[in-house]
Chains A and B, each alone.
Chain A
């Protein structure tokens, strides 16, 4: 039976319970529909992110939205208390990184599955959704000048031509040029190191970056601190970033 129009959703459901139905492809407002993934309370039972990507691709064919869950980081619901994520690799990640990975997968709505987050943990995905700003919490290296730490907290963005091995803050050269940068470079650069180019880097002097993988030390660069680097979702082209370094 093809449902043309003037039936309520309840009536359509009652018809569908006894007869196979077809809906009106010309008038169905598929964007009103949402497909929401399960969350997986037991460790190692969550989905691969690639499964979520595939589900988004199917949902898009019908124009519907996709929701998925991110694990909380404070109170975890029993009986297992192992978090309520959709994607297994997200189970112990900070909520912000989970939300970023889901949005990169094409997910429209991210539900925190757990019954609570700290106010701080709400604020980070909140900044992203509300202001399109990824605010990363990091640790400053000893001796970094407070003016430099303050400048790191000012929103900047990754370059449009995103580099494969590091985030390059687009406006950092002009913003950091006059600041009291460290005098000595050459520190180790593990993934997540916040680095600044020194005078010996020539015209690249004062450019600030965040390494996405372990890179060998370089005397032309000093490490200003580090941010957690779980997953690669923060390095999208032109992504707005600010660093809150303690």
Chain B
């Protein structure tokens, strides 16, 4: 079994400490969701980038939950 830890835009300050503690315990995966209805579109791209950076610096591989809307929000045009 592999373990994963999660981070979200609404709890952005927790991403760094959570990923660090999780990696210390042997976690190898990170999860975030880019399409939570309550999240503000403003700053979503920066928040997602910060979460991915935190995960990468803890050595975790990231799984990001997406739907077409957040993909557009982040600058893609599917």
**A residues with CB within 8 A of B:** 36, 67, 75, 77-79, 84, 99, 102-103, 107-117, 119, 122-123, 125-126, 128-130
Residues of A within 8 A of B38 (CB): 78-79
Within 1-15 of B, Cβ neighbours of A (below 8 Å) are at: 1-8, 10-11, 14-15
- If A78-B10, A115-B15, A125-B3 are given as contacts, then 11 extra A-B residue pairs at C-beta distance below 8 Å, sorted by A number, are A36-B63, A102-B1, A108-B2, A110-B1, A110-B2, A111-B4, A111-B5, A112-B6, A119-B24, A122-B22, A126-B24
| Total residue contacts A-B, CB cutoff 8 A | 82
Return the chain A residue nearest B17 by Cβ: A116
Docked-complex contact A114 and B6, CB < 8 angstroms: yes
Question: Are A110's CB and B21's CB within 8 A?
Answer: no
Interface size on B, residues (CB 8 A): 24
State whether B1 touches A99 (Cβ < 8 A). yes
The distance from the CB of A109 to the nearest CB of chain B, in whole angstroms, is 5
- Write out the residue numbers on chain A whose beta carbons fall within 8 Å of the beta carbon of B14: 75, 115-116
Q: List 17 A-B contacts (CB under 8 A).
A: A75-B14, A84-B6, A109-B4, A111-B4, A111-B29, A111-B31, A112-B22, A113-B31, A115-B18, A116-B11, A116-B17, A117-B18, A117-B21, A122-B25, A122-B27, A125-B25, A128-B1
